[in-house]
Amino acid sequence: MASCTKNNSRCVLLQPSMCIAMGPGEDMFDSTQIVGRMMYQKAKELYASASQEVTGPLAAAHQWVNMTDVTVWLNSTHAAKTCKPALGYSFAAGTIDGVGSLNFTQGTTVGDPFWDIIRDQILGKPSEELKECHKPKPILLPTGMMSKPHPWHPEIVDVQIITLGSFAITAIPGEFTTMSGRRLRQAVQEEFAAYGMPNMTVVISGLCNVYTHYITTYEEYQVK
């Protein structure tokens, strides 16, 4: 299997070639059927071998949140505030198995004058306040400022949680990195424990209700 470089989303196998995940089948339809069947078989296996019955009351909570105006306390004395959304240069690089078609690279923390000029002329120049808020990410698309023909990025999003006994599902409108998902799950478990429910099993269900793009940790954001 070819090794891939994180910077340009490409793999090297004798000569440079794009690394695209095509799936196990002959085409996308065959691959979808194969993957779906494997997921079903594993789910059926887990269901048949389950050793703990989930019992208890059913509860649910739902909330709309304006993600452009949230105050986050970093510690007892310092707080930060969210702002309008924007997509950075690394977004245009795509992924290892879905590379972008232009010269963007992953992990970009510095903008490009050429693309900045094109962006400013076509989409409008992002405000200095927006640039400062999104640092160190250089802004490629100021989606929070774009509204034609419709808003390009959701600002008010809904989050919800459903519990059945000791089992909780959190519905979040975004795609998590592995570590950000772990931290959210731990934070939710700790919150349950603070209210006298220390043995809750928490499942993160992403891509729910609306799509807000990727969710990362602070450390990942600094380099991605």
Q: List the binding residues.
A: 175, 214
Length in residues, the chain? 224
Closest CA to 130 of 138, 121, 120: 138
Whether the Cβ atoms of residue 86 and residue 144 lie closer than 8 Å to each other: yes
Extract the annotated binding site for Zn(2+).
Answer: 175, 214
49: number of CA atoms within 13 Å, CB side? 6
Instruction: Output the six-digit token pair for 50.
Output: 């389950």
> Residue type for 169, please?
I
Whether the Cβ atoms of residue 144 and residue 134 lie closer than 8 Å to each other: no
SS (H, E, C) 180-202: HHHHHHHHHHHHHHHCCCCCCEE
Instruction: Output the six-digit token pair for 217.
Output: 């940790």
